[in-house]
Amino acid sequence: MSDASSLPVLALNAGSSSLKFGLYLVDARTNRLLVSGMADTVGGRGGPFSVKDADGNALDCDARPTATPREAVERIAGLLAAQRMPAPAAIGHRIVHGGPACRRHALIDAAVTRQLEDAAVFAPLHVPPALALVRSAQECFPGIPQVACLDIAFHAGMPEIARTLPLPRALREQGIERYGFHGLSCESIVRQLAADLPPRLVIAHLGHGASVTAVAKGQSIDTSMGLTPSGGVIMSTRCGDIDPGILEYLVRELHYDAAQLEELIDHQSGMQGISDLSGDMRELRAAAASNDDARLAIAMFCHSVRKQIGAMAAALGGIDMLVFTGGIGENDAATHRTICEGMDWLGVGIGSAIVRVMPSQEDAQIVQHTWRITAR
């Protein structure tokens, strides 16, 4: 199914509780999707294992939720064989955080594995599941090159004024700085725009995790997330930026420990915490007609994103285009309208020609980077 210059490359895109995958035929210019799928939850109470062909048609498969990363990879391998797909020549993994030592996409060897293990402390929701998936893929596809495609790589060149956090040098020297995330998504938007890429672009990636990024001439110059994927705008279950004095109060007066703070910041806050109902925008919209807290959660989310769009426009000295992407960004038109209300002064009001909705194509970025690294 491939010529001498193209390779079948498998993308494994692990989230904190989900797994997306896609097998592509890849060369220097194109990524042709062969088959894709998703497990809504790996190791939890989520939706079924679903698979689609290149045209988006559902394929018959074992639809049970997957219990472990190993089971997920084994089922993907079985699916590829059953569909008579080519065996992957390389596998690319989305890795959210590489820490201070691993900031570029890289072939996974023993040294890179150690760097990623060390980086798990910065993104405990994301990196450990991704590393478990890497180990499972290495066992199920022995001898196949595996590549770490880092969400922080797109932001690695941010200027010092944006990258540096206002902390003592001794702490900054330990790697505490603004890394930024959703980099693969941002890269995919820049790639899709191609010749239409404007000098001053703001990308609002809105999903379970959400961030806003300023892109100048194709380069990230600032972004809302910081050391971890918990900062920035209000998210589904993450609080985003809050007064650090709140954390001091919780430790001093309520005796919270690190585990309790992590649970609060990452799982109990955001729209989930505001509404005391759900962090899922679809569920909040369904309840909003009769639930004041659901309406408040939606309004606060949109207000938080709107403020960050203004901040990124300030960092860019103006804005030529605003792109919405991610699960909410691509599918919830009401969110777009609410965010854009009152932003005519910035040129991105409701109905503005410079506002676009575009798909996040992280998997396409993963396989392109994997091809580039392994096809040398």
Answer for the pair 209, 147: CB distance below 8 angstroms, yes or no. Answer: no
3 state SS of 22: strand
Per-residue model confidence (pLDDT) at position 339: 98
How far apart CA 349 and CA 241 sit, in angstroms, is 25
- Rg, Å, the chain Cα set: 21
Q: Which two tokens stand for residue 81?
A: 């064989």
Q: Which two tokens stand for residue 369?
A: 């980077």
Name the one residue in this structure whose structure tokens are 């980086």: 119
Q: Which two tokens stand for residue 243?
A: 């007064």
Topology, domain 196-357? Nucleotidyltransferase; domain 5 (3.30.420)
| Closest C-alpha among 211, 206, 256 to residue 233 | 211
CB atoms within 10 A of CB 173: 10
Q: Work out the pLDDT band at 193, boundaries 50, 70, 90.
A: very high
User: How open is the CA angle 124-214-148, to the nearest 5 degrees?
Assistant: 40
Per-residue model confidence (pLDDT) at position 291: 98
Angle between helices 362-374 and 183-193 (to 10 degrees): 90
Per-residue model confidence (pLDDT) at position 60: 77
Q: Which residues lie closer than 8 Å to 236 by C-beta, 6 or more apart? A: 207, 208, 209, 210, 270, 271, 272, 279, 280, 281
User: How open is the CA angle 184-191-131, to the nearest 5 degrees?
Assistant: 20
Amino acid at the residue 239:
C
Residues of the chain with CATH 3.30.420.40: 7-150, 196-357
pLDDT in tens, 113-171: 999 999 999 999 889 989 999 999 999 999 999 999 999 999 999 999 999 999 999 99
pLDDT in tens, 27-81: 988 999 999 998 765 555 555 678 999 999 998 777 677 778 888 899 899 999 9
Per-residue model confidence (pLDDT) at position 40: 63
3 state SS of 114: helix
Per-residue model confidence (pLDDT) at position 41: 56
Catalytic residue status for 257: no
Q: Which two tokens stand for residue 198?
A: 């404007």
- CATH number of the domain located at residue range(s) 7-150 in this protein: 3.30.420.40
Between the CA of residue 4 and those of 26, 86, 314, what are the distances in Å? 11, 14, 48
Answer for the pair 285, 328: CB distance below 8 angstroms, yes or no. Answer: no
- Residue-averaged pLDDT of the chain: 93
**In the predicted structure, residue 189 carries a pLDDT above the cut 70:** yes
Catalytic residue among 151, 222, 266, 332: 151
Q: What is the β-pairing status of strands 200-206 and 210-216?
A: antiparallel
3 state SS of 367: helix
How far apart CA 220 and CA 156 sit, in angstroms, is 8
What is the rounded (10 degree) CA torsion for 241, 246, 252, 256? -60
